[in-house]
Every structure is written in structure tokens, then in C-alpha cells.
Amino acid sequence: MAGMSESAVVTVRGLRKVYGTRVVVDALDLDVPAGQVVGLIGANGAGKTTTVECIQGLRRPDGGTVRVLGLDPAAQADRLRPQLGSQLQDSALPDRLRVGEALDLFATGRAADAGELLARFGLADRRRSAFAGLSGGERQRLFLVLALLNRPRLVILDELTQGLDPAARRGVWAAVAQLREAGTTVLLVTHELDEAEALCDCVIAMRDGRSLDAGPPAALVARHAGWATVTFSWPEAERAAVLSGLQALAGVRDVSWAGGRVTVHGTRQIIAYVRADLVRRGRMPDDLAVQIPDLESALLGLLDEPRAARPLDLAGASR
């Protein structure tokens, strides 16, 4: 078993959680370095929420070790709780509770300036508003304010933007980006892969309670979806010549023709090589399009691989 990381805010080694006969988390290792946004990604049922519940001390592990800020969350919850801020998947407040009342209810003696936090997250004019009168995006921003109210060293967010419209999601993303800029350590649970790609310094892909791979989103894409596709129209009379020329380019895996359009598939380097080849031929099609894979493509590639856990490598996770 790998040793505990001295620089990590959260260190998990060999975490195991079982419900009855069902293993929900199985020999999981993960680190959350200080000052970074680390995401847990994977399909529903991958064990993401159970993992963060063990990290917060809400559930007791059946095996392995968990340390948060050097403390055991199961045995030292009273010492750890003041240093954590969280927004859980089922977070809610009473409908008639006003924003200002919620701040008073959750604040401790070490609370930050509530007015500054409300202004920072665009809620300065909603202090007297009831929870029921807030929009979905405003509610999620309020949960962020409450999570930060007592100056936590670690913030845990579980499906923060679930059910929000695109505009509200972008507003919440901007709020999380502010946390990163302020140096706050964040553990983010999400099944929205564009969210993970936009916000996280490092992601940990999970399946069946185990880690499949970990690293910066771009690194996972490069390892598991390092391809590109280029398509464009081309005259039928020059079909044979262009197909044979493209097939000879470095990194090209296959070239096809259908309905007057050429499709070239291969490594990402083919984007530059195909463009250069077309320039050499003296014609740059107006409809040339490039498809580059994203984190979703990488996760799908991972899920198709044999069921074997990969060692975590968080080196280079800093942006």
C-alpha cells in the first residue's frame, strides 16, 4: 500500500465500503492536494458519493484508511467538522427560511464576513429573500456561501449543478472558479464531464468503487482518447489522388470517402498534417471540420477497458 501523502489535504488508501453483500467502494486510493479542485467522475453507482461520505465522516469505512487534514474523520469528527464545508447531493433548506437567517444559523465564531460572501457570489440583494423564492442557480450559490461561511480548509461539493439550466450552471462554475483562485481546496463529485473538464485540476475516474485512472483532464483525454477526425468535401475527379496522399500521412489510421466527403481519422497530429497537405494541393475546403475528443470520450474509452485498477499518478496535476 502506498504511504500517506504529507502534502495532501485528503489521503485515502485501500478504502472499502460494503452494504450487505454489495461492495460499493473497493480498495480505493486517492489524494486531494492542497489548493486544487479534484473531481470524482464516473457513472451512477460508481461509488463517488459513498467515498465523499466516508471522507466527511458521515459513513464509517469497512476497511482502509482515510485522513483529512491529518485527522481520522470517523474517530475525530468533532475536530474535523469545523474545518470542512460541504454541499451534499440532497442539500435543502426550509422554504420560509430567509437567506440572512440561514447565514446566522450556520455561522460559528470564526465565520467570514457574510455580506462579502453574498456579494462575491451575486446574492447581495437576496439577504431578505426566502429560500423558496430563490432560483435554482441562486440556491446552489447560497449553498456555496454556506459551505465557505466558517472559513473551511476543504470544501466538498456533490453534484452541485444537477438540474440547473445552462446559464445557471455557468454561474455556479464561475463561483467554483473563484474558490480555486482563492486557493481553496475542493473535492467535486460530478457526472457532468464538461463540468469536470472546465473546473478540475485533476480528475479520478471511478467504476464499481475502484479507480480506473487519475490525472489532469487533458492527460486522461490524451491517454484514452488521443485521436482526431478531419472531414471535408473534395471533387470526385481527384478522389483517388487525395485519398492515397492522405493515407500516407504520419498518424493517419484510416481514410474514407462517402457522398463527396473525405473523412480522415488518426492521432491529433493529423490535424496539422492534413491542413498542410491541402495547402500543398492548392485548395482549402470551406467546410473543413475537425473533431477532437473530450473527457467524455476518455471516460467511455476507460469503461471499455478491462476491469483493472490503475495506480494513481497525480504528478503534474497543477495547472
- Whether residue 252 lies inside any domain: the answer is yes
| pLDDT confidence of residue 313 | 42
| pLDDT confidence of residue 2 | 45
Mean pLDDT computed over 163-186? 85
Residues 6 or more apart whose CB falls under 8 angstroms from that of 319 comprise 201, 216
- Please name which of 52, 77, 4 lies closest in space to residue 188, comparing C-alpha atoms: 52
pLDDT-based confidence at residue 50 (cuts at 50, 70, 90): very high
30 and 170 share a domain?
yes
- Whether residue 288 lies inside any domain: the answer is no
| pLDDT confidence of residue 191 | 86
| pLDDT confidence of residue 306 | 61
Query: What is the tens place of the pLDDT at every residue in 61-84?
Result: 999 999 999 999 999 988 998 888
Query: What is the tens place of the pLDDT at every residue in 300-317?
Result: 888 876 654 444 444 444
Burial class (CB in 10 A: 0-12, 13-18, 19+), 89: middle
pLDDT at position 52 over 60: yes
- Whether residue 1 lies inside any domain: the answer is no
| pLDDT confidence of residue 199 | 93
Q: Vertex 157, ends 155 and 163: CA angle to 5°?
A: 155
| pLDDT confidence of residue 171 | 83
Mean pLDDT computed over 226-240? 94
CA–CA distance, 114 with 117 (Å, rounded to integer): 5
DSSP state for residue 84 in the 8-state scheme: E
193 and 262 share a domain?
no
Sheet holding 154-158, edge to edge: 84-87, 154-158, 185-189, 37-41, 202-207, 210-215
Mean pLDDT computed over 25-42? 94
Domain that holds residue 278: 227-282
- Please name which of 60, 101, 58 lies closest in space to residue 81, comparing C-alpha atoms: 58
Q: Which residues pair with 228 in a beta bridge?
A: 266
56 and 177 share a domain?
yes
pLDDT, averaged across the chain = 87
Domain count, the chain: 2
Q: Which of 100-109, 118-127, 151-160, 273-282 has the highest mean pLDDT?
A: 273-282
Query: What is the tens place of the pLDDT at every residue in 105-149?
Result: 888 866 678 888 888 888 989 999 999 999 988 888 898 888 888
User: Which CATH number do you get for residue 126?
Assistant: 3.40.50.300
209 and 251 share a domain?
no
| pLDDT confidence of residue 319 | 38
Distance of alpha carbon 286 from the chain centroid: 35
147 and 39 share a domain?
yes
Mean pLDDT computed over 268-280? 94
Beta strands at 202-207 and 37-41: parallel, antiparallel or unpaired = parallel
